[in-house]
Every structure is written in structure tokens, then in C-alpha cells.
Amino acid sequence: MSRTKSQSDIDAIKESVKATESAMLAVIEYLKQTEYPTSKDAKTVLDQVLENHNCESPEGRIVASGAGTFEPHYMGSGPIKRNQPVVIDIYPRSRETGLYADMTRTVCLGKPSEELQDMYNAVVQAYTASVATLRPGVPCVDVHQAAVQVFESLGYKTTGQGTEFKYAEGFVHSVGHGLGTNVHEAPKVGMASTDVLQVGDVITIEPGLYYQHIGGVRLEDLFVITKDGYQQLTTLPQQLII
């Protein structure tokens, strides 16, 4: 498949987005309504919703809570902890079209710590700054740097990038990536990217912060680059406290 997507491709991705948002809502509702929620049961909920939408649920889907979310790829296990970050990352593939969607939300059951709330607010600001850069002709490194500048202005580390995450803290990964028949494809949207945004690129924006004593916060949405700027494909509200 071409890096840039046709309107029919984008329409197909929107169908995968519907499945993703439905699964996210179902997981959040499960967390809110269950006295002792678990990562395993939350994944069962999202798997069933995706199955109902004729989508494959990825093995690496994430419903993780607590300090373990410090590792961006930690999939989660055991009880969902209250007053701590809960990272939910869903990226299904449509069985009909082979196209992915991708979305992440971080929520908290109960009152977050001041540190966690501050991290969340910083991620929202970084996300907003990166989204504001989206238009054709913009170097992808500039999209990434917009998030870096926000984090650095607020005193958060951004030097962990390029590691394998395990011991890095702060903002440790690229701010986004292309998506289509693979969940990660061109263009690269990171500090070492030489790509430039083009009309028809479908990309994620997903800044995050990760600290061992707190855990992680990541927010991710999906966008298509248009001749006038961008269209946001995933539109589920961002809300920390549930």
C-alpha cells in the first residue's frame, strides 16, 4: 500500500476507528462499574467488542495500571489499581480491509496524585502543540520537537529517546508514526525522521511521560493530513479521572 492513503483507504480506517472507540468506551465503563477490575477481564471486554466489529484484537493490546506503566509496552496484569494511572492502548486490524486504527487513553479510578495530574496536564499540552503543527510540507521532526519543547519547558526529561525504554524516564519515544496495513509504517514522526508530511498521510500523535515511581501517561489519536491541515479520526474525549 502507498504511504499516502486514498479516500477509500481513509473511509476504511474510519471503520476500524469506530471499533477502537467502542472498545475503549466499553473498557472504561467496565472499570467504572466493577468493584475489583482486572487487566485480564478488561482485555476480555475489549476483545469481544472488537470481535463484534469484525476486527482482530492485537496480542500486544494494553490495559495496564500502576507503576508498571512506566514501561510503554507493558501490557498489564492483575488488579487495576485505584488512584494510579491506567493506560489503555487499542490498535485493532479490520479483517475485511486489513487496515488498522490506533488510540490510547490514560485514566485514573479515583483521585490521582498531584504528580500524576501534573504529568497528565503536561502530556495534554505536548499533544496540543504537536497537533497544531500538522499540515502538508511540515518536517516530521518539527511535529516531534513541538512536544519536546513543551516537556522541556515544564521540566520533564526528554533524553531517554532512542533507548529500549527499560531504564529511561521522561519522554522516551517518538511522538507518532504512520499507520495503514501495518500499525507502524511511514512516515516516521520522531527526532531522527527525514520525512515531510504529505496530503493523505495517516499518522498518530502520542506523546507520553514515564517515571518509575509513578508510572506512565500517554494520549494517542489518529489524524489524516489534508490540503488545509488535518482531520482528526479518533475523537473520544480525553479525561483522566473516571
Q: Identify the pLDDT of residue 239.
A: 97
Locus of grid cell 520533564: 156
Q: What is the pLDDT of residues 181-225, one digit of tens each?
A: 999 999 999 998 999 999 999 999 999 999 999 999 999 999 999
Question: Does the pLDDT at position 165 exceed 60?
Answer: no
Please name every residue paired with 197 in a beta bridge, in sequence order, or none if there are none.
Answer: none
H or E segment to which residue 52 belongs: helix 39-52
Q: Identify the pLDDT of residue 142.
A: 98
Range of the domain at 70: 7-232
pTM > 0.85: yes or no: yes
In a domain, 239, yes or no: no
Q: Which residue from 232, 201, 206, 205 is spatially nearest to 217, judged by alpha carbons?
A: 206
Q: Domain of 154: which CATH number?
A: 3.90.230.10
State the burial class of residue 114 (Cβ atoms within 10 Å of its Cβ: 0-12, 13-18, 19+). Answer: exposed
Confidence of residue 158 (pLDDT cuts 50, 70, 90): confident
In a domain, 115, yes or no: yes
In a domain, 127, yes or no: yes
Report the chain's mean pLDDT, rounded to a whole number.
Answer: 95
Question: Does the pLDDT at position 56 exceed 60?
Answer: yes
In a domain, 238, yes or no: no
Confidence of residue 153 (pLDDT cuts 50, 70, 90): very high
Q: Identify the pLDDT of residue 162.
A: 53
CA distances from 192 to 73, 135, 225 (A): 21, 19, 20
In a domain, 78, yes or no: yes
In a domain, 241, yes or no: no
In a domain, 227, yes or no: yes
Overall domain count for the chain: 1
The Cα–Cα gap between 226 and 223 comes to 9
H or E segment to which residue 30 belongs: helix 7-33
